[in-house]
């Protein structure tokens, strides 16, 4: 979101630039210890160290050679004209001439009564108005590159503030002589002072939502795709990570604190007592469960993949400490779990989306993972979709549990005729019944995420005072009417911890503010806990109208969502129809792939589409690899008859059993037919033979194809070639062979008969002679 607009003036430019605080908080002792107790929340913010002159003076001009850094402005909200008012800080000479007679004075502008006037005064700092007498700086002479302190102490009455409620511009102007010229303006810091002389006002109730979200860092498996999360969790002084700063700032601010308006015994006792309440402030931490998953993984030795391959990392003490600090924070506040991976539910819920039900699946997974990792039940009454056309999300919610939607103000049509800031709670139309919506105040939310590199940055203290002025203007709009607002920085905002902590703490110490839990706002039961709050909870504003199109709609493209749907179809078949769905191992695989799908559809890829494609490819490759570990292996087959048996092997390379059958591909039906085999459970890391009864419809050598089927009978994976040799005769061949055999038999019979007829009749045998007797004379 854009930060506060830079301050400009035709005569003097505001040049104050401050570095990030090098140390936000004093880290808890023993943060790297294995002790199970959570680290205590630090009680105070460490003061910022002086920024290098080069950084402070960046962008300086000859017209405004002095950077004015305001570090003290007390009281934040004066309540009595008799109390002291103190402004103190540092002056830095960014020019190339020595300045002499250096002094500082206050300039008070006319009362501002509306937020639009406040925005204009922010862009154009006050130059006219009541000028108070100048007071000398600690060093009246300032050489180039040198710095000196200043302090202005006056009575609130000296400011001559208006007699009506509102906010007054306040300029801190440095004046000096140089090169023989008369004393004139050489630097300026611009801020505001709230003033409520008309008596107590009805409290404005604020509900804080602090996001702890980042882009996914885990791939589909146990290996992290980068080690960027380590930097975000670091608590190194001067280089604390973004997530560390956000958590510390919110946790410190939630404790609140009561600062004396000024150290002055002459200040009226009632003003010292009434200026600050110091109540604890309810904070809701909006957390991506995938972030918790990754931080938890880093609390043990973990692996990271990179261009050089996989590398091992030791357990991260920062991860251990941060996770314990978050557990302590949510024990003191509330916890809002985003759907797992912070998916782009706007894109997933489009009318033509084939993965609408992923929203509910990822929501349930996010709730269970958050509960497991933080041992705390997250809110079930609020959902926070990203910005964009949310009609599909609203309809999905209306059919569900009736959860309230925390929506960006850009998705609803604003009413320019309103003369006041509306309360956060409203209703949205849906196809079933109205849905409760909570619309955060965009301006208040942006004011707690200022950018120190912006030209309008004047340091932490004046950034806080600008936020205070905005809340004061809101309260002054209708001083007799309580309203309820929600403050929600962007999901991945780079929050300045000192500014965040101060603004949260101000909710519990300024007289016109109080903190309320988000769950109470959603339910319409919010009331100030630590101060009189006679009014009922703020009624819901008129029904909001959703925009049909949202400016700068950055939701994931329909094509990307279709690719997510395609990989889900493959994943679902694998986990629901091939694995034994009731086994714990299969349930674990299904949950792992669902987590990976949430990461692939993350809102982080709205700004980084190439990284989103990379994460999606990792999921596609992982699903393909899982499916590829179940294979059908075929060898040559010989059929010697009309029917026969073909034997194939199902190889399961997974660590868990699968349930599959075998089917011949329909393209093989002209030559070879069969019926599907019964489903068979193949244990993990094993191979099992499957026999298929087939019927040959032709003979010779040919190629058939076979493949696996899942439990529903749908093909699973590709097909394999089956080399078949069939020696079976067909019907025509049998007829020809039979006829030939018959002809052969007939011909043989005829030939034998003819031979028999041609053979001559045998002669009669000669009668035997009687042998002659001896002596007979014959």
Angle value at C-alpha 645, between 644 and 648, nearest 5 degrees: 155
Q: What is the mean pLDDT of residues 387-407?
A: 80
Distance, CA of 545 to CA of 128 (rounded, Å): 43
Distance, CA of 511 to CA of 515 (rounded, Å): 12
* Per-residue pLDDT reduced to its tens digit, 335-350: 999 999 999 999 999 9
Q: Are the C-beta atoms of 19 and 51 separated by less than 8 Å?
A: yes
Res 9 pLDDT > 80 = no
Report the pLDDT value the prediction gives residue 736, as an integer from 0 to 100. Answer: 60
Report the pLDDT value the prediction gives residue 673, as an integer from 0 to 100. Answer: 82
Closest of 199, 724, 730, 301 to residue 511, by C-alpha: 199
Residue 237 tokens, joined: 């002084």
Query: What is the rounded average pLDDT for all residues in the chain?
Result: 86
Report the pLDDT value the prediction gives residue 699, as an integer from 0 to 100. Answer: 81
Distance, CA of 646 to CA of 112 (rounded, Å): 90
Distance, CA of 307 to CA of 21 (rounded, Å): 35
Report the pLDDT value the prediction gives residue 766, as an integer from 0 to 100. Answer: 52
Distance, CA of 193 to CA of 107 (rounded, Å): 12
Q: What is the mean pLDDT of residues 725-752?
A: 69
- pLDDT confidence band for 2 (50 / 70 / 90): very low
Residue 297 tokens, joined: 């993984």
Beta strands 700-709 and 715-726: pairing type? antiparallel
Report the pLDDT value the prediction gives residue 763, as an integer from 0 to 100. Answer: 57
Could you tell me which residue, 48 or 87, shows the higher pLDDT?
A: 87
Cβ-Cβ contacts under 8 Å for 112 (sequence gap 6 or more):
118, 121, 166, 167, 168, 169, 192, 473
Could you tell me which residue, 544 or 88, shows the higher pLDDT?
A: 88
Report the pLDDT value the prediction gives residue 23, as an integer from 0 to 100. Answer: 36
* Per-residue pLDDT reduced to its tens digit, 311-324: 999 999 999 999 99
The alpha carbon of 465 is separated from its chain's Cα centroid by a whole number of angstroms, namely 31
Give the residue ranges of DSSP H helices in 104-162: 115-123, 156-159
Count CA atoms closer than 13 A to 771's CA, side-chain side: 2
Q: What are the residues facing 720 on neighbouring strands?
A: 706
State the residue for tokens 């000196």. 148
Burial 717-734 (b: 16+ CB within 10 A, else e): bebbebebebebeeeeee
Closest of 427, 387, 393, 394 to residue 409, by C-alpha: 387
Stated length of the chain: 778
Q: CB 402: neighbour CB atoms within 10 A?
A: 11
Q: In this predicted structure, which of 72-76, 568-572, 663-667 has the lowest mean pLDDT?
A: 663-667
Report the pLDDT value the prediction gives residue 734, as an integer from 0 to 100. Answer: 56
| Class of residue 483 by CB neighbours under 10 A (exposed 0-12, middle 13-18, buried 19+) | buried
Q: What is the mean pLDDT of residues 449-472?
A: 94
Res 121 pLDDT > 50 = yes
Res 629 pLDDT > 50 = yes
- pLDDT confidence band for 417 (50 / 70 / 90): low
Residue 224 tokens, joined: 């992290």
Res 690 pLDDT > 50 = yes
Q: What is the mean pLDDT of residues 149-160?
A: 97
Report the pLDDT value the prediction gives residue 31, as an integer from 0 to 100. Answer: 36
Report the pLDDT value the prediction gives residue 45, as an integer from 0 to 100. Answer: 52
Res 14 pLDDT > 80 = no
Closest of 261, 284, 278, 333 to residue 531, by C-alpha: 278
Give the residue ranges of DSSP H helices in 160-300: 228-233, 242-255, 269-274, 289-298
Residue 734 tokens, joined: 């049998």
Q: What is the mean pLDDT of residues 392-396?
A: 81
Q: What is the pTM of this model?
A: 0.86
Distance, CA of 237 to CA of 233 (rounded, Å): 12
Q: What is the mean pLDDT of residues 442-448?
A: 97
Distance, CA of 642 to CA of 395 (rounded, Å): 61
Q: Are the C-beta atoms of 356 and 392 separated by less than 8 Å?
A: yes
* Number of alpha helices (DSSP H) and beta strands (DSSP E) in the chain: 19, 28
Angle value at C-alpha 460, between 454 and 464, nearest 5 degrees: 105
Residue 633 tokens, joined: 């292996």
- E strand segments, 292-424: 302-306, 309-313, 334-337, 382-383, 404-406
Res 235 pLDDT > 80 = yes
For a pLDDT cut of 90, what percent of the chain falls above it?
65
Report the pLDDT value the prediction gives residue 731, as an integer from 0 to 100. Answer: 53
Q: CB 71: neighbour CB atoms within 10 A?
A: 16
- pLDDT confidence band for 394 (50 / 70 / 90): confident
Res 663 pLDDT > 80 = yes
Report the pLDDT value the prediction gives residue 33, as an integer from 0 to 100. Answer: 35
Burial 319-332 (b: 16+ CB within 10 A, else e): bbbbbbbbbbbbee
* Per-residue pLDDT reduced to its tens digit, 187-211: 999 999 999 999 889 999 999 999 9
* Per-residue pLDDT reduced to its tens digit, 552-610: 678 999 999 999 999 999 999 999 999 999 999 999 999 999 999 999 999 999 999 99
| Rg value, the chain, Cα | 42
Report the pLDDT value the prediction gives residue 4, as an integer from 0 to 100. Answer: 36
């Amino acid at each position: 979101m854009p930060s506060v607009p830079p301050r400009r003036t035709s005569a003097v430019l505001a040049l104050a630039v401050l570095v990030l605080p090098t140390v936000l908080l004093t880290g808890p002792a023993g943060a790297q210890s294995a002790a199970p107790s959570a680290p205590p929340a630090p009680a105070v913010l460490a003061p910022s160290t002086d920024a290098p002159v080069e950084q402070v003076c960046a962008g300086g001009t000859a017209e405004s050679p002095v950077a004015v850094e305001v570090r003290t402005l007390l009281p934040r909200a004066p309540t009595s004209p008799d109390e002291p008012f103190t402004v103190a800080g540092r002056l830095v000479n960014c020019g190339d001439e020595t300045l002499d007679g250096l002094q500082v004075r206050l300039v008070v502008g006319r009362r501002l009564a509306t937020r639009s006037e406040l925005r204009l005064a922010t862009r154009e700092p006050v130059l006219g108005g009541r000028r108070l007498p100048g007071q000398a700086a600690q060093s009246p002479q300032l050489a180039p590159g040198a710095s000196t302190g200043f302090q202005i102490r006056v009575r609130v009455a000296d400011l001559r503030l208006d007699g009506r409620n509102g906010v007054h511009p306040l300029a801190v102007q440095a004046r000096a002589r140089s090169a023989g010229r008369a004393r004139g303006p050489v630097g300026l810091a611009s801020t505001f002072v709230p003033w409520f002389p008309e008596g107590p006002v009805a409290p404005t109730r604020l509900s804080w939502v602090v996001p702890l979200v980042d882009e996914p860092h885990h791939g589909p498996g146990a290996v992290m795709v980068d080690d960027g999360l380590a930097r975000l969790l670091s608590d190194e002084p001067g280089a604390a990570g973004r997530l560390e700063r956000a958590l510390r700032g919110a946790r410190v601010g939630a404790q609140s604190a009561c600062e004396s308006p000024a150290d002055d015994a002459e200040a009226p006792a009632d003003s010292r007592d009434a200026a600050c309440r110091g109540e604890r402030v309810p904070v809701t931490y909006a957390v991506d469960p995938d972030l918790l998953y990754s931080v938890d993984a880093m609390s043990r030795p973990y692996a990271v993949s990179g261009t050089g391959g996989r590398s091992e990392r030791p357990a991260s003490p920062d991860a251990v400490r941060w996770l314990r600090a978050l557990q302590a924070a949510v024990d003191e506040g509330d916890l809002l779990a985003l759907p797992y991976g912070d998916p782009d539910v706007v894109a997933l819920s489009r009318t033509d989306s084939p993965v609408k039900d992923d929203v509910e699946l990822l929501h349930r997974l996010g709730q269970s993972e958050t509960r497991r990792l933080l041992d705390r039940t997250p809110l079930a009454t609020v959902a926070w979709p990203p910005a964009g056309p949310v009609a599909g999300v609203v309809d999905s919610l209306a059919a569900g549990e009736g959860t309230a939607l925390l929506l960006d103000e850009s998705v609803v049509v604003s009413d320019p005729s309103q003369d006041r800031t509306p309360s956060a709670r409203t209703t949205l139309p849906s196809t079933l019944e109205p849905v409760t919506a909570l619309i955060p105040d965009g301006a208040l939310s942006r004011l707690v995420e200022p950018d120190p590199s912006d030209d309008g940055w004047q340091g932490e203290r004046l950034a806080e005072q600008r936020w205070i002025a905005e809340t004061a203007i809101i309260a002054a709009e209708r001083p007799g009417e309580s309203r309820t607002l929600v403050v929600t920085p962007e999901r991945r905002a780079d929050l300045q911890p000192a500014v965040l902590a101060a603004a949260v703490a101000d909710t519990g110490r300024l007289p016109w503010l109080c903190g309320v839990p988000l769950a109470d706002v959603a339910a319409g039961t919010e009331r100030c806990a630590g101060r009189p709050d006679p009014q009922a909870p703020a009624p819901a504003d008129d029904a909001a109208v959703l925009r049909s199109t949202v400016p700068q709609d950055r939701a994931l493209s329909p094509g990307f969502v279709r690719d997510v749907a395609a990989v889900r179809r493959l994943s679902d078949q694998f986990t629901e129809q091939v694995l034994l769905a009731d086994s714990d191992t299969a349930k674990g695989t299904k949950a792992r792939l669902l987590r990976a799908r949430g990461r692939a559809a993350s809102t982080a890829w709205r700004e980084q589409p190439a990284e989103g494609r990379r994460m999606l490819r990792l999921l596609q490759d992982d699903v393909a690899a899982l499916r590829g570990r179940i294979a059908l292996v075929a060898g040559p087959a010989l059929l010697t008859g009309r029917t026969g048996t073909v034997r194939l092997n199902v190889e399961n390379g997974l660590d868990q059993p699968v349930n599959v059958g075998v089917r011949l591909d329909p393209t093989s039906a002209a030559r070879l037919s069969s019926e599907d085999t019964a489903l068979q459970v193949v244990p993990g890391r094993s191979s099992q033979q499957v026999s298929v009864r087939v019927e040959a419809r032709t003979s010779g050598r040919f190629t058939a194809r076979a493949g696996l089927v899942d439990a529903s009978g749908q093909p699973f994976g590709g097909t394999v070639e089956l080399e078949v040799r069939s020696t079976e005769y067909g019907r025509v061949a049998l007829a020809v062979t039979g006829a030939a055999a018959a002809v052969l038999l007939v011909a043989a019979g005829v030939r034998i008969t003819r031979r028999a007829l041609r053979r001559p009749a045998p002669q009669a045998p000669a009668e035997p002679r009687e042998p002659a007797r001896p002596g007979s004379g014959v």
